[in-house]
Amino acid sequence: MSILKKKPLLILMLFSLIYACSAPAEKVYTAEEIESESKKANDFFERSFNAGVDRSPMTQGFLGINKDNDKWDDASDATNEEQLEINKKELQYLLDSINPEALDFQTRLSYQLFKENAENQIADYKWRHHNYPVTQMFGPHTQVASFLINIHRVTQPSDATAYIARLNALPTFFDQVIESLEVREAKGIMPPKFVFPRVLEASRNIIKGAPFERGPSSTLQTDFYGKVDALDISASEKQKFKKEADQALSNSVKPAYEKLIAFMQGQEKRASEDDGIWKLPEGDDYFNVALKRTTTTELTAEEIHETGLNEVARIHDEMREIMKQVNFEGTLNEFFTHLKESPQFFYPNTDAGKQEYLDSATVIIDNMRTLLDELFITKPQADVVVKRVEPFRENSAGKAFYQSPAPDGSRPGIYYANLANTADMPKYDMEALAYHEGIPGHHMDRSIAQELTDIPKFRKFGGYTAYVEGWGLYSEFIPKEMGLYANPYSDYGRLAAELWRACRLVVDTGIHLKKWTREEGIAYYKNNTAGSDRDCERMVERHIIMPSQAVAYKIGMLKILELRASAKEKLGDNFDIREFHEVVLTSGSVPLNILEGLVDDWVKTKSM
């Protein structure tokens, strides 16, 4: 009998040994080689980012760059094809010219993220029209005014000239927007009918008042006049600027808005009342891709739906414990009604009441600022302020949101609170909102990312929704562990915020997977939360026009808590919450699978 028949395992081991001996050894790179290749890669990332900023005057504005502050972005459909070619060329350069094995840790991570982003954008080109550019929540119709008011600085006469140039460029910008909407409509892609009245109202609000019509000064006129009056120039120069701005508002801005309004009125007549993304061409496939991009996981829509149901049940049980603490006798839904209808939980719906809300939110953030050393090593240098959402967009804007600071320090981070009606902003959820949007939430993760010195700009200013919003929701939970939320109603508010995000998992997938109607989604929120009627309606409408986006919060929070629990179990007494947060926050926004790898590496290092 041959040795092959007698000893197959021995022969296999022999072949393996021969192969191992003949296989080339893995190359070990010198410190100089790693430094050189990392610099080459980072120089490329810098060129790519700067080229993207050069193509976007509005991004320049957000970054505090005044280079093209007389222009708007190109909103034409042709920019999609241009961006596709740029993505292909940059990906090819990365693959052909950069050796990932010869990069330092952070640069290798940048390589991986840049590569995956480019691949995803190329793959997603087919879905470039599967969105709604103009909605009740966002779009050029409101962005123009909010950008000019909040982003376009006027610190010298040339800035005022650029402001006027932007006003005069609005007809071209809006023509491009209308063209992109026409392209989508030809493909059968239009938002549902409920969107249009909100868009039309917000658009009409911009062109109310002088110089568009008789009456008080309009929003834009007020903004421009105030900025020009602050300049150190003569009265005659100020008057000249104001006259030119009024002409631009009357002759350019007004007709541009009127044309957009007329177009949206026409689309409203042709729009359907179907809500889910399934109504679009290949809508089911698009929703699966959207979930993958938003959550940075492989979770299916059905898995997300079930997770939501389980979380809703858990949080309801914790709320019942709060009911016992405050001696409330009745059902959970009766408790919800009590919280929605009792005046004690709301500030007066007056200017004074709204200012009191802003002042109280500021106190909460300022108090948390004094406690940061307990939880964090790295802290943001930028300041954060609380502001009220401007009246022209408060009826269409969300409940609260955050705007990052300017990198040059010229603008702080801003937590915007929507105080259109204080009945929609109860006292008991004020703490959770302030922690989420301010400190330790978005202001921590966004500002720290911008202030990092060892990552490229595309990572400083980019973001993954599951990470960013997961951190925001996790930041609502951290203060609970610190002994805050001392008032049980505030702790209820924390749970109410978490419940809201859990319901999002159920309703988002309910609408886009299970074909729930808008009314069914609203009913789910009303039956399972204490949200106001307006909150429930607005949330469901958000699900409809932004499929998958709202599920990111809870999925991200669950992953961060899972990683923390795993690290604590493995490290025991060696676990340090400050070090854990340092790992989470000091690589910028990353996909959840990458975050898991970063935490795992930290745990291994601590375990050695």
Q: Give the pLDDT confidence of 520-579 residue by residue, as tens digits.
A: 999 999 999 988 888 899 999 999 999 999 999 999 999 999 999 999 999 999 999 999
HSE-up of residue 168 (Cα within 13 Å, Cβ side): 13
Residues 6+ apart with CB under 8 A from 549: 294, 465, 542
What integer pLDDT is reported at residue 5 of this predicted model? 38
- Which residue has tokens 């709320």? 319
Which pLDDT tens digit goes with each residue over 352-405?
999 999 999 999 999 999 999 999 999 999 999 999 998 877 876 778 999 999
Is 22's pLDDT higher than 70? Answer: no
- Structure-token pair, residue 283: 């809508």
Contact present, 84 and 125 (Cβ < 8 Å): yes
Distance CA 63, CA 61 (A): 5
Exposure string for 120-139, b = 16+ CB within 10 A, e = fewer: ebeebeeebbbbbebbbbbb
Contact present, 488 and 326 (Cβ < 8 Å): yes
Residue 507: which of 559, 553, 441, 475 has the closest Cα?
553
Contact present, 497 and 432 (Cβ < 8 Å): yes
- Structure-token pair, residue 213: 């019509």
What integer pLDDT is reported at residue 103 of this predicted model? 97
Task: Give me the phi and psi of 254, to 5 degrees please.
Answer: -60, -50
Residue 481 banded pLDDT, cuts 50, 70, 90: very high
Q: Calculate mean pLDDT across residues 83-94.
A: 98
Q: Calculate mean pLDDT across residues 119-134.
A: 97
Is 4's pLDDT higher than 50? Answer: no
Is 312's pLDDT higher than 50? Answer: yes
What integer pLDDT is reported at residue 398 of this predicted model? 76
- Rounded to 5°, angle at Cα 381 from 376 and 383: 110
Residue 64 banded pLDDT, cuts 50, 70, 90: confident
- 3-state class (DSSP) for residue 210: strand
What integer pLDDT is reported at residue 396 of this predicted model? 67
- Structure-token pair, residue 154: 């006027």
Residue 111: which of 121, 120, 99, 122 has the closest Cα?
99
Q: In what order do the strands lie in the sheet with 384-388?
A: 384-388, 413-417, 400-403
Neighbours of 353 (CB within 10 A): 14
The continuous run of DSSP H or E covering 133 comes out as: none
Q: Where are the domains of the chain?
A: 140-273, 287-557
Contact present, 511 and 543 (Cβ < 8 Å): yes
Contact present, 177 and 117 (Cβ < 8 Å): no
Who wins on pLDDT, 8 or 250?
Answer: 250
- Structure-token pair, residue 381: 């240098």
Which pLDDT tens digit goes with each residue over 413-455?
999 999 999 998 999 999 999 999 999 999 999 999 999 998 9
Neighbours of 25 (CB within 10 A): 5
Helices (H), 296-350: 301-325, 332-341
